[in-house]
Structure 1
Amino acid sequence: MSTPAIPAGMTGILPHLVCAGAADAIGFYQRAFGAVEMMRLPAPDGRLMHASVRIGEAVVMLVDEMPEYGALGPKQLKGSPVTLHRFVPDVDAAMAKAVAAGATVVMPAADQFWGDRYGIVEDPFGHRWSLATHLRDLTPEQILQAAASAAPC
């Protein structure tokens, strides 16, 4: 029997987050997003060399900050240009759950011109999560027309 080149459940793009306190991040993601821990590999010094959780159908990998290897989290880097996006059945409830677990609201949930109710939270480790509930299907033309009359960001 041959080993598959891509492990089962590991298709697509897998976010790999650097966190100051990856073990704490796992706990936060469990409380905030219902994450299920898949595995963790601690280094001899106690930091996590690798861990992974499943959030919905997505696998998210984590590692502790390790400056000696250039692994720095968003707080050390003064932010990140990356936002993790997740569709949820009820964006308001999902944001409230994340805030109760320790996230900060960056953008309150609101109905958006592209057809989603959408908001953004920042987790205690500096990663931003956009959360959305899809409300209506629109054509690209309808979205462009709605964007033209929307308030600027």
Structure 2
Amino acid sequence: MEPRVFPIINCADILNTRSFYQRVFGAEQVYQFPDEGDPVYLSLAVGGGHIALGVGTGPAMYGATPLPATGHAVDVCVYVPDLDGVLEAAPEHGGTLAVPATDTPWGERVAYVRDPEGTMLLVIQEDPDD
């Protein structure tokens, strides 16, 4: 098995955050722990990648409670086929627009959206020629 990397987004409201990713990005839940009842950890497939959501309101295995996503150090990048659709759907499902869509000098159309937990998402319009 090859190494793989995916972000874990620590959440105060894991179910609401799952709903946001499902409705805005078409995420599909592929794992839940525990199997039944209220989840404390979820894995979501988003296109060809994965993200995880974890309840981040208490100490983690390393002993400290994860910090909320304010003054964050990581942006989660999401390529989408319809940037305008994401920007329309995000506020309807608890997200906020941080930076409106703009064309970049390197040729991509991008925007920044915060998920319901405050995680910064760099959303990029896919190039249909790629």
TM-score, with length taken from structure 2: 0.82
Is the alpha carbon distance of 1:71 and 1:51 closer, same or farther for their aligned partners in structure 2, counting shifts above 3 Å?
farther
**Cross-structure match for 2:106:** 114
Shift of 1:100: 2.0
Instruction: List structure 1 segments (4+ residues) > 3 angstroms apart after TM superposition.
Output: none
CA distance, structure 2, for counterparts of residue 116 and residue 134 of structure 1: 8
- What is the CA–CA distance in structure 2 between the aligned matches of 1:57 and 1:85, rounded to whole Å? 13
Q: Is the 8 A contact 2:59 2:66 kept in 1?
A: no
Counterparts in 2 of 1:113 and 1:102: CA distance versus 1, 3 Å = same
Q: 2:90 aligns with which of 80, 87, 98?
A: 98
Q: Which amino acid aligns with 1:27?
A: S
**Structure 2 unaligned blocks of 5 or more:** none
Report the Cα offset of residue 81 of structure 1.
1.6
Matched residue, 2:68: 74
Residues 68/87 of structure 1: CA separation in 2 closer, same or farther (3 Å cut): closer
Question: Greater CA radius of gyration, 1 or 2?
Answer: 1
| Aligned match for 1:60, one of 27, 42, 51 | 51
Give aligned pairs, total. 125
Determine if contact 1:52/1:60 at 8 Å carries over to the other structure: yes
**TM-score normalized by the length of structure 1:** 0.71
How many percent identity over aligned positions? Answer: 28
Q: What is the rounded CA distance, in whole Å, between the counterparts of 1:94 and 1:47 in structure 2?
A: 26
- 2:20 maps to which residue? 28
The residue number in structure 2 matching 1:131 is 123
Give me the whole-angstrom Cα distance separating, in 2, the residues matched to 1:21 and 1:124.
Answer: 8
Q: Which has the higher contact order (CA 8 A, sep 6+)?
A: 2
Pick one of 86, 89, 98 that aligns with 2:78. 86
**Secondary structure of the corresponding residue to residue 105 of structure 2:** coil
Q: In 1, Cα distance between the equivalents of 2:19 and 2:101?
A: 24
